[in-house]
Amino acid sequence: MATQTPPEFSISKQINSFQNTSYCMDTKELWDVLYSVLPTSIIVIFFFGLLGNIFALSIFLLLRRRLTVAEIYLTNLSASDLVFVTGLPFWAESVQEQFFWPFGHAFCYIINGIIKANMFISIFLVVAISRDRYIALVHTMSSQVQRSHRQAQIICVFIWFLGGLLSIPTFMFRSMKSVPDLNVSACILQFPHTVWYSIRIIELSVVGFIIPLIAIIFFNSQIITSLRSRTKTNIKRSGKTRDTKATTLILTLVTVFIICWTPYHCFAILEYLFWVKAVQGCFWEELIDLGLIYANFFAFLNSCLNPVIYVFVGKLFRVRVYEVYKQCTAKCSVNVSLG
């Protein structure tokens, strides 16, 4: 039932929903489809996300030169996506077993805590990336001072720390719980007091999405306005083409991120409204139950799309790939000649 658990990266809500929604309508067939289709979908996302983000990280880290400020942020985003997708096979197995969690209590809160932390880390990094482009294109005179490598590294460390801090409730309140009606032990989020439901939605969707989204929209609207202004006045400056290519990549990453994550947060807020009885009724309950689980896995998709964007949109990234290729072939040639 939609009122029994808070919005969360879990199937705990769906377990309760499956137990209690029979009086509304028969959803057994829909859940059977989810059990059979979603595990395979999760594994596909995991596979491409793992390979894609390892590839992106290897390109950034194998370059024989210092990373640019933008590349520091993109490297951290790839690392966050990589850590994020490593938790997906566990949930694929859990869904396959109809929410039975076979990995024990420790992995219950560790895996979900990692997933939750990297959800926050990803959006904060997108804000940092948008801010960096904003400073580079809108405040060009002061960009050298505000876009130092040291500052970018400090910001990234702070973002990882903040993501871990915000995931503490997940680490604290995740646990195994027996669900007699389904005859399974599930990994679910159990708050000790109902006030945590309100705290959690503020943390999850206000701090973790709405506020960052406002910042992202502001930075990128200013970027687009600046680019249009330069196009109209035909301002020529050194590095203009380079900045435009980098900005195209960032705008694409931001757009895809928003598209993938907005449905999840919309359903999370809707679920909270159902819990406080702001919306009621069988229609809303069924919509939230099925919509939230689909939105969860649509959000997962973002972690394997970013490397694809790097390759097909990031012209400068393809240049980096060629640089690494030349480095590797030159090293192989030297090794062969010495051999």
- Determine the Cα–Cα distance for residues 327 and 290; give it in Å rounded to an integer: 50
Share of the chain above pLDDT 70, in %: 82
Q: How confident is the model at residue 47, as a pLDDT?
A: 93
Please tell me which of 105-119, 230-244, 306-320 the model is most confident about, judged by mean pLDDT.
Answer: 105-119
Q: How confident is the model at residue 61, as a pLDDT?
A: 85
- Determine the Cα–Cα distance for residues 320 and 200; give it in Å rounded to an integer: 41
Does residue 94 have a pLDDT over 60? Answer: yes
- Determine the Cα–Cα distance for residues 74 and 93; give it in Å rounded to an integer: 30
* Cβ atoms within 10 Å of 239's Cβ, excluding its own: 10
Please tell me which of 145-154, 170-179, 207-216 the model is most confident about, judged by mean pLDDT.
Answer: 207-216
Does residue 21 have a pLDDT over 50? Answer: no
> Which residues does 294 contact at the CB level (< 8 Å), separation at least 6?
263
pTM for the whole structure: 0.84
- Determine the Cα–Cα distance for residues 252 and 242; give it in Å rounded to an integer: 16
Does residue 87 have a pLDDT over 70? Answer: yes
DSSP assigned state of 140:
G
Establish if 284 belongs to a structural domain.
no
Domain with 182, as residue range(s), is 23-231+296-338
Establish if 119 belongs to a structural domain.
yes
Q: How confident is the model at residue 283, as a pLDDT?
A: 75
DSSP assigned state of 100:
-
Establish if 117 belongs to a structural domain.
yes
> Which residues does 265 contact at the CB level (< 8 Å), separation at least 6?
204, 205, 208, 209, 210
- Determine the Cα–Cα distance for residues 1 and 286; give it in Å rounded to an integer: 9
DSSP assigned state of 10:
S
Establish if 102 belongs to a structural domain.
yes
Establish if 243 belongs to a structural domain.
no
From the number of C-beta atoms within 10 Å of its C-beta (0-12, 13-18, 19+), residue 112 rates as buried
Establish if 195 belongs to a structural domain.
yes
Q: CATH no. for residue 101?
A: 1.20.1070.10
Establish if 311 belongs to a structural domain.
yes
Establish if 186 belongs to a structural domain.
yes
Looking at the structure of the chain, the number of domains it has is 1
